[in-house]
A and B are shown apart, each in its own frame.
Chain A
Amino acid sequence: MRRHVTAYGFLSLALVVFAVFSWYPIVRGVVLSFQQVNFVSDPEWVGWENFQRLFDDPLFAVAWRNTAWFTVLALVIGFGVPFLTAVVLNELRHAKGYFRLLVYLPVMLPPVVTALLWKWFYDPGPGLFNSVLRELGLPTSQWLDSGNTALISIVLLTTWANMGSATLIYLAALQTIPGELYEAAELDGAGIARKVWHVTIPQTKFVILMLLLLQVVATMQVFTEPFIMTGGGPEDSTVTVLLLLYRYAFVYNDFGTASALSLILFAVLGVFSFLYLKVTRRADA
């Protein structure tokens, strides 16, 4: 019985923390989505008006389209690059630790520092990338200053900044693959590509799937980089859902509409979180 009391004690503390810092804010956020507030007089119930305002805002569709496109690009580039890097790192025989550190280093930089650093890299005038391209006699790009290239430029930056963690997880998964499987494949005459396709990918598929889902959830919440680097421009090409949400809350001071948008995002991300849970349960089973 005493053991149970201790257990319930720990449990109740955790429940209180969750209730105060997670569940209560979520419930209040839902309530706020149906209210207009000025923090002086009592909140006014406005039904679905906040949601209607969102749907009437042409930027709402633009923000979702940009976010979806960003997520797709981030998955294509942000999945492939770390996975291949992990495969290469796994094959290294020398200086393994050094290269792992090198790959992980950008993760240790604060996102704001990374964004400001890359802002200079992307400067279409004296920036690093265009200077190198000019030296090589190649055509330069407008990078962040063009509606056609701004989003992909941010994807490249976020891939560089975040690939370290994903690479290490893939690497850990790769190292759990029994060596005999590769030996057997080699005996069957498999080359590198076939070994990756028939051994590496099937053996790491749960990790890949879980990371993909986590990446979807994370990349759909991209905010810091567009906020610092482009402010959503040029021509709204980098306005993301969270950036729009920020504008409603902290530029227009319309917390009701901001909460409504937050709720919609919450629901969309909830679907992916649910899928993630399903996958992890299957992996555990």
Chain B
Amino acid sequence: MKKSAAVLLGCVLVAGCGSGTTADSGGKVVININGQPPQTQAFDRKVFDEDVAEFEKQNENIDLVPHEGFMDPKTFSAKLAGGQLEDVFYVYFTDPASLIARKQAADITDYVKDVPHYGDLKQELKDVFTVDGKVYGLPTANYTMGLLYSRINFTKAGLDPNKPPQTWDEVRAAAKKLKDAGVTGFAEYSKSNQGGWHFTTWMKSVGGDIARKDGDTFKADFNNDKGKEVLRRLKEMRWDDGSMGEKQLLEIGDVQNMMGAGQLGMYLAAPDNVAAIVNQFKGKYDDYGLAAIPGQQGTLLGGEGYMIHPKATPEKIKAGLKWIQWKYLNPDRLEGNLQKYRDRGQPVGLPIPPIADIWTGHPRKKQEDLKAKYATMPVENFKAYVDGSEKTKGSLEPPQAQQVYAILDNVVQATLTNRDADHAQLLKDAETKVNAVLAQVK
């Protein structure tokens, strides 16, 4: 019984502690912020710490207390209950909807009008943090899912690395050739809710979706021809062609390892995966390419942003927003940042911070010009992605995303591990379960 008692204890410790934030001191507003990179990421850490020092110098009435780490859904509630949650905290786009529903982030509607350039942010990104007209956070980076591929393995398989697949039929054909060249052609996640996450991307790529608004509620929207098409394509690659390898139940770390070790041809990914693989495996940017999502009828929006502690005082909210805008949403600092990255030998050119794809209008134009001026990597390798992303409509994750993804994991798992899986039945069962989850959305 030790373990169940321990779980009870865990739940209770989480429930038992009070919450609070660092008090203001000496006339200064003290705010705890997270997002500080770990010591192991020396360059990013140095830039972050320099930015903190510079911001404090420019804003003498604000004292920033940086903390390492980002938002982890597994520890979020424990930190909140234990008074350990930072005043300004990082979130992935997967999280805001549920945090807002649980009232675990501050309403910043009254303050956001004073944030410079807020109006220049992409509307669909602002929507991630907006519910019923109220704003609860600011987006700082945006990715749409694309097709990451190994240029080396493409060449090895006799494929043109400058002409990545644009349709799912082309993906299948390329995966077959890659398999014949001795590597896994295409890999797909199917574990830890990531199978459901990618199934959602697949659905959007063929013009479908996971959930649709039906009056005041949401209904599952994947038990249809689009859903069957996605599963049929997965089945063809996995079982008919054998181009997805034998080992399944993969998650992001497994697939990145396969790609970094040169054992994989393609997988669905956002651009940050390129940087992660290059950094982790000491690889070269020249060896990877990024194309738009196959099918290009839609794609899943991903990204990151910052929210404010639900019990933060108005002073803390104002100081927090000032920091977020100065650090992450500041077109005036863009050129200086790019110079810094280039001069210190860091890659510039991928659509990830410091040139996050979040702007419209003038800041966007300025950013594109500066990116071309300061690029330090073969940006043409990622042109197909950038061009495709412009044309492909990105849309948000379904409500109760994690619970929905957990259910859809099953559908992908069954398709990839059972040759005779009944796709129609899988989709029907998943639809019933997802509708039960969506019925809880208020």
Residues of B within 8 A of A41 (CB): 103
Residues of B within 8 A of A262 (CB): 4, 7-8, 11
A233 to B9 CA separation, bound complex (whole angstroms): 27
Residues of B within 8 A of A223 (CB): 3
Residues of B within 8 A of A28 (CB): 8, 11-12, 15-16
A123 to B245 CA separation, bound complex (whole angstroms): 11
* B248/A145 in contact, CB under 8 A: yes
Point out which of A249, A263, A273 has the most chain B C-beta atoms below 10 A from its C-beta: A249
Residues of B within 8 A of A43 (CB): 15
Among B170-195, those with CB < 8 Å from A are: 190-193
Point out which of A56, A124, A217, A253 has the most chain B C-beta atoms below 10 A from its C-beta: A253
Q: Can you name the residue of chain A whose Cβ is closest to the Cβ of B426?
A: A235
* B413/A234 in contact, CB under 8 A: yes
Residues of A within 8 A of B413 (CB): 233-235
* B248/A25 in contact, CB under 8 A: no
Q: Can you name the residue of chain B whose Cβ is closest to the Cβ of A43?
A: B15
Q: Can you name the residue of chain A whose Cβ is closest to the Cβ of B411?
A: A235
Residue B282 lies at the interface, judged by CB distance under 8 Å to chain A: no
* A255/B15 in contact, CB under 8 A: yes
User: 1/0 per residue B269-304: CB within 8 Å of A?
Assistant: 000000000000000000000000000000000000
Residues of B within 8 A of A231 (CB): 191-192, 249, 251, 409
* A26/B8 in contact, CB under 8 A: yes
Residue B213 lies at the interface, judged by CB distance under 8 Å to chain A: no
Residue B395 lies at the interface, judged by CB distance under 8 Å to chain A: no
Q: Can you name the residue of chain B whose Cβ is closest to the Cβ of A252?
A: B403
A235 to B251 CA separation, bound complex (whole angstroms): 16
Given contacts A146-B417, A223-B3, A235-B410, contact A230 B249 (CB under 8 A): yes
Given contacts A39-B19, A234-B249, contact A253 B76 (CB under 8 A): yes
Residue A99 lies at the interface, judged by CB distance under 8 Å to chain B: no
Given contacts A223-B3, A252-B402, contact A32 B410 (CB under 8 A): no
A28 to B7 CA separation, bound complex (whole angstroms): 12
Among A34-52, those with CB < 8 Å from B are: 37-41, 43
Given contacts A39-B81, A40-B310, contact A234 B433 (CB under 8 A): no
* A234/B248 in contact, CB under 8 A: yes
User: 1/0 per residue A244-269: CB within 8 Å of B?
Assistant: 01110111110100110011011001
A183 to B416 CA separation, bound complex (whole angstroms): 59
Residues of B within 8 A of A29 (CB): 8-9, 11-12
Q: Can you name the residue of chain B whose Cβ is closest to the Cβ of A251?
A: B402
Residues of A within 8 A of B5 (CB): 22, 25-26, 266
Q: Can you name the residue of chain B whose Cβ is closest to the Cβ of A142?
A: B417
Residues of A within 8 A of B433 (CB): 58
Q: In the complex, which of the residues B1, B11, B16, B76 contacts A270, with contact meaning CB atoms closer than 8 Å?
A: B1
Residues of A within 8 A of B16 (CB): 28
Residue B346 lies at the interface, judged by CB distance under 8 Å to chain A: no
Residues of A within 8 A of B158 (CB): none
Q: In the complex, which of the residues A24, A144, A245 contacts B249, with contact meaning CB atoms closer than 8 Å?
A: A144
Residue A236 lies at the interface, judged by CB distance under 8 Å to chain B: yes
Given contacts A144-B249, A250-B73, A251-B74, contact A265 B102 (CB under 8 A): no
* A123/B11 in contact, CB under 8 A: no
Residues of A within 8 A of B81 (CB): 39
Given contacts A146-B417, A231-B192, contact A266 B8 (CB under 8 A): yes
User: B416 to chain A: closest CB distance in Å?
Assistant: 8
Residue B311 lies at the interface, judged by CB distance under 8 Å to chain A: yes
* A266/B1 in contact, CB under 8 A: yes
A34 to B251 CA separation, bound complex (whole angstroms): 35
User: A127 to chain B: closest CB distance in Å?
Assistant: 8
Residues of A within 8 A of B311 (CB): 40
Residue B436 lies at the interface, judged by CB distance under 8 Å to chain A: yes
User: 1/0 per residue B76-100: CB within 8 Å of A?
Assistant: 1100110000000000000000100
Residues of B within 8 A of A230 (CB): 191, 249
Residue A165 lies at the interface, judged by CB distance under 8 Å to chain B: no
Residues of B within 8 A of A246 (CB): 7
Residue B257 lies at the interface, judged by CB distance under 8 Å to chain A: no
Point out which of B81, B245, B432 has the most chain A C-beta atoms below 10 A from its C-beta: B81
Residue A80 lies at the interface, judged by CB distance under 8 Å to chain B: no
Q: List 21 A-B contacts (CB under 8 A).
A: A25-B11, A28-B16, A29-B9, A39-B81, A40-B19, A40-B103, A40-B311, A123-B246, A142-B417, A145-B417, A146-B417, A146-B418, A147-B414, A221-B1, A231-B251, A233-B417, A235-B418, A249-B10, A249-B11, A251-B73, A255-B77
Counting from the closest, the 4 A-B pairs by CB-CB distance are: A29-B8, A28-B12, A25-B9, A39-B81
